[in-house]
Amino acid sequence: MDERADLEQILQTAMAVGVQVHKAGGYTARTDGAMRRVALALGADKADPAITATLVGLTVTKNDWSRTAVKSAVNAGVNFSELTELSGLAKNCDGKSPEQVRAELDTIVAGSKRYGLGVVLPAVGMGSAGLAALYGADAGGMLIAGLAGGVGAALRAWLIKRHLKPFVFSVFCAFLSISVVIGLQSLTGNLEAALAASILYLVPGVPLLNGTADLLTGYYLNGMVRLTMSTVIFVGASIGLLGALSLWGVS
């Protein structure tokens, strides 16, 4: 009975680390490796992770006893600082008890910083303005690109809270950002640069990187899922962009 209880503790601890890595934006091999290292360091003889886009599963074996668990792990937004700390935790579990690892994990999660919209939206606006400058926009173009990017990002946050899918929110957000730029086009002499930069926030950079990493590390199904999601966002943004240009008569 003690062996079963110990194995359950190992399983739940490794699962907790893996779920957190997955939710923080880790690619599949990173989540797999973190769970495997934690489980083996805590005393399991064998660890077999199974990871999809929204689920994390793990089977651990010790002295011919096996336990399996599966948990939902929906991505909560990329947090690279948290990922770094979680990777460090997974690599330094030797000699620790499951309770110690869980305590360190709780400390990492509690100290994780997630910036509010008051910080994120101005940052998105400045990013769009900076890209407009790289495209050769004048000061007016930078201003309206930054404003359009910030407004569109605010709409995206609002729609995500209401559980709209990526294809849907990318259409509406692109339409709004492009419409803002067109409405203020008299402020710039380089409309094209402002238009292109205003939807920078819709580029799914991390899903593209993680999808590519999954393909390169042999997790083909998860890689295709992530790349397909990225494609869906691109298609939605393109529809929103073309819809706004057509509606407002801009060619």
**What pLDDT is attached to residue 1?**
46
Sign of CA dihedral 106, 89, 41, 11: positive
Task: Find the domain containing 140 and state its range.
Answer: 117-247
Q: Which residue do the tokens 């008890």 mark?
A: 97
Task: State which amino acid sits at residue 106.
Answer: D
Instruction: Report pLDDT digits (tens) over 140-154.
Output: 999 999 999 999 999
DSSP state of 164: -
Q: In whole angstroms, what is the distance from residue 55 CA to residue 22 CA?
A: 9
Dihedral in degrees, nearest 10, Cα atoms 120, 240, 230, 143: -30
- Same domain as 202, residue 186: yes
Number of domains in the chain: 2
Which of 110, 132, 151 lies at the terminal end of a domain, its last residue? 110
- Same domain as 129, residue 49: no
Cα 242 from chain centre:
26
- Same domain as 104, residue 126: no
Within the chain, which residues score under 50 in pLDDT?
1
- Same domain as 130, residue 98: no
- Same domain as 128, residue 89: no
Q: In whole angstroms, what is the distance from residue 193 CA to residue 136 CA?
A: 7
Which of 110, 129, 148 lies at the terminal end of a domain, its last residue? 110
**What pLDDT is attached to residue 76?**
67
DSSP state of 50: E
Q: In whole angstroms, what is the distance from residue 94 CA to residue 15 CA?
A: 17
- Helices marked H in the chain: 2-23, 28-41, 80-91, 98-110, 117-134, 139-161, 166-183, 191-198, 205-216, 220-247
- Same domain as 136, residue 89: no
pTM: 0.86
For the range 79-85, what are the long-range contacts, defined as Cβ-Cβ under 8 Å and sequence gap of 24 or more?
A: 79/24, 79/25, 79/112, 79/113, 79/114, 80/25, 81/112, 81/113, 82/20, 82/24, 82/108, 82/109, 82/112, 83/21, 83/24, 83/25, 83/26, 83/30
**What pLDDT is attached to residue 36?**
96
Which of 93, 110, 127 lies at the terminal end of a domain, its last residue? 110
Answer yes or no: are the C-beta atoms of 181 and 195 closer than 8 Å. Answer: yes
- Same domain as 62, residue 46: yes
Answer yes or no: are the C-beta atoms of 193 and 132 closer than 8 Å. Answer: yes
